[in-house]
């Protein structure tokens, strides 16, 4: 059962404000420039970042985008994980990966599973997430091995031309 205390308006507003403030500060941009790009009055932006005013969904996405981060990924991380993950992944390749991955996942599931999509069980989610992470880790390891091998081949080729 979902703990409804996690969704208390003031707590959600404070957590979202913390994420948005971290994104704005990490961007290196002036708040007045972000306010102009997001079409949010600078005082309203100040109140949003201070947690005094709730940001609409569109405002949150625009603030994140104007801050130079993957807006959907960070908002999704905020919703499904924690504000801490969303903040920790600010301006990272991992956040961009998560944005592209989560955006592609629904159509990939439909395309690959076809009629089996209705057979998917919620209890499989955790194991599938771990399996995808292991698959990604194996893929990174394989790319690193190939890079090392290519480096040795190029080093050997350079050594052969000199001698």
Q: Helices (DSSP H) in the chain: which residue ranges?
A: 9-27, 31-38, 42-49, 57-66, 71-80, 83-88, 93-113, 125-162
Please say if the pLDDT value at position 150 is more than 90: no
Same domain, 15 and 86: yes
**Structural tokens at position 75:** 């908002």
Same domain, 107 and 37: no
Overall pTM surpassing 0.85 (yes/no): no
Confidence at residue 54, expressed as pLDDT on a 0 to 100 scale: 92
Same domain, 76 and 116: no
Is residue 85 within 8 A of residue 77, CB to CB? The reply is: yes
Please say if the pLDDT value at position 100 is more than 50: yes
* Cα–Cα distance, 123 to 128 (Å, whole number): 9
Point out the domain boundary residue: 64, 90, 116.
90
Same domain, 84 and 127: no
Q: In which band, very low, low, confident or very high, does the pLDDT at 85 lie, cut at 50, 70 and 90?
A: confident
102/7: higher pLDDT: 102
Point out the domain boundary residue: 36, 62, 90.
90
Cα-only R_g, the chain: 22
Q: In which band, very low, low, confident or very high, does the pLDDT at 92 lie, cut at 50, 70 and 90?
A: confident
* Cα–Cα distance, 121 to 25 (Å, whole number): 41
Same domain, 31 and 64: yes
* Cα–Cα distance, 13 to 29 (Å, whole number): 23
The total number of structural domains in the chain stands at: 2
* Arithmetic mean of pLDDT, 70-91: 85
Point out the domain boundary residue: 36, 68, 90.
90
Q: Which CATH number goes with the domain that contains 79?
A: 1.10.260.40
Same domain, 59 and 105: no
* Arithmetic mean of pLDDT, 127-133: 93
Same domain, 113 and 81: no
Same domain, 6 and 76: yes
Structural domain of 135: 97-159
Same domain, 85 and 138: no
Same domain, 86 and 102: no
Is residue 102 within 8 A of residue 96, CB to CB? The reply is: no
Residues in the chain: 163
* Arithmetic mean of pLDDT, 54-59: 94
* Cα–Cα distance, 62 to 65 (Å, whole number): 5
Same domain, 75 and 32: yes
**Structural tokens at position 138:** 């194996």
Same domain, 74 and 115: no
């Amino acid at each position: 059962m979902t703990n409804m205390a996690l969704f208390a308006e003031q707590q959600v507003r404070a957590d979202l404000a913390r994420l948005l403030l971290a994104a704005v500060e990490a961007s290196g941009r002036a708040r007045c420039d972000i306010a102009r790009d997001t079409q949010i009055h600078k005082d309203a932006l100040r109140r949003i970042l201070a947690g005094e005013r709730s940001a609409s969904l569109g405002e949150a996405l625009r603030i994140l985008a104007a801050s130079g981060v993957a807006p959907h990924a960070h908002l999704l991380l905020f919703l499904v994980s924690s504000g801490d993950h969303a903040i920790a992944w600010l301006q990272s390749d991992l956040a961009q990966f998560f944005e592209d991955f989560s955006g592609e996942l629904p159509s990939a599931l439909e395309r690959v599973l076809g009629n089996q999509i209705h057979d998917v069980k919620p209890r499989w989610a955790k194991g599938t997430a771990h399996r995808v992470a292991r698959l990604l880790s194996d893929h990174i390891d394989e790319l690193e091995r190939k890079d090392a091998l290519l480096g040795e081949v190029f080093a050997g080729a350079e050594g052969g031309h000199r001698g």
